[in-house]
Amino acid sequence: MPNISAKGNTSTLPSAPVQHDQTICGITHLGRCIQDLGEDDKGIFTSPFHLQPQDAYWLAPLGAATGAAFAYDADAAQAVGVDANRTNTANKIADFGSFWATGAEGAGIYFIGLAQKNPKLAETGRLAAEAVIDSGTVTLATKLVTNRQRPRQGNGQGDFWPAGTGHWGWDTSFPSDHATATMALARVIAGEYPHWYVVVPAYGFAETVSVSRILANQHFPSDIVVGQAIGFLVGSYVLNHRALYRPAKQGLAARVIGSIRPIADARTRTLAASVEIPLGENRRF
């Protein structure tokens, strides 16, 4: 069976092993949860070895958007400036999008689903928490490898390994774990319930938390771009490999958001995005 990517194409991520015992991760089968997380990490971390030519469809614009963000990181941080009241507000917003908070939010949805005897809602919460944990592993590994300074550290340029490879830390700037966790959570929720009244608030929450990290002088724009990309792709992986109740056909809002492509032009120093609006069968503008 072919893998299905975040956009519905053949994925580079290998399929998860078949669960012969049909046991589903849950509060009564924690061992299965640990096994699922291990299989997820194996598939996610080995995915670069399975890249195919068609993956340039999303890798190229992502790379361009990231490169453009890197080019303006220092200017963006300087433009934001420092405001104590704004920073305090931004940090309060960000508290709802931390790794621990989003994991708890996913777990909360899971237990509500159990209490209501709603297997789809329970699955949504379970997979959301799983995606947050998986994406957190990727983010942590990337932070250790890059060791980037935050906007108000050092010379404010967001240097990588400023003190050499002899000094490293866990709480570095690149990528944003808040952006990663909230996008992973939103991707699963929107994928399970692809209706505009679910999709818009889910992704709106992720974007709000991500922007708050820039306004709080905690991250550069490129930290956010890469963090959200990780969260979206990991959330898609978990959906495609674990979901049993995910609808086969996406709603209008989900298809519109899924069609967004970043566009960067180094010559004109512009960053934009394209989007497809479904007007009817086989019609786009």
Model pTM?
0.80
Catalogue the long-range contacts made by 160-165 (C-beta closer than 8 Å, 24 or more residues apart): none
Confidence check: pLDDT of 279 > 80 = no
∠ Cα 106 109 113 (to 5°): 140
Q: Between residues 1 and 233, which one has the greater pLDDT?
A: 233
Per-residue model confidence (pLDDT) at position 255:
59
Q: Among the residues of 3-98, which ranges form H helices? A: 30-45, 56-80, 84-94
Find which of 4-8, 70-74, 81-85, 209-213 is predicted with most confidence, using mean pLDDT: 209-213
- 5-14, 82-91, 107-116, 159-168: the lowest-pLDDT one: 5-14
Mean pLDDT of 153-180: 88
CA pair distance 235, 231, nearest whole angstrom: 6
Confidence check: pLDDT of 260 > 80 = no
Per-residue model confidence (pLDDT) at position 62:
82
Mean pLDDT of 231-258: 80
The shares of helix, strand and coil residues in the chain, as percent rounded to the nearest 5, are: 60, 5, 35
Confidence check: pLDDT of 257 > 90 = no
Mean pLDDT of 150-176: 88
pLDDT class of 88 with cuts at 50, 70, 90: very high
Token pair belonging to 203: 């992704």
Per-residue model confidence (pLDDT) at position 47:
86
pLDDT class of 3 with cuts at 50, 70, 90: very low
Among 77, 68, 66, smallest CA distance to 158 is for: 77
Token pair belonging to 253: 């809002």
- 1-5, 35-39, 68-72, 135-139: the lowest-pLDDT one: 1-5
The yes/no answer on whether domain 55-274 falls in CATH 1.20.140 is no
pLDDT class of 283 with cuts at 50, 70, 90: very low
pLDDT class of 14 with cuts at 50, 70, 90: very low
Q: Between residues 276 and 87, which one has the greater pLDDT?
A: 87
- 26-30, 65-69, 195-199, 268-272: the lowest-pLDDT one: 268-272
The chain-wide mean pLDDT, for the chain, equals: 83
Among 257, 265, 154, 135, smallest CA distance to 199 is for: 257
Per-residue model confidence (pLDDT) at position 146:
93
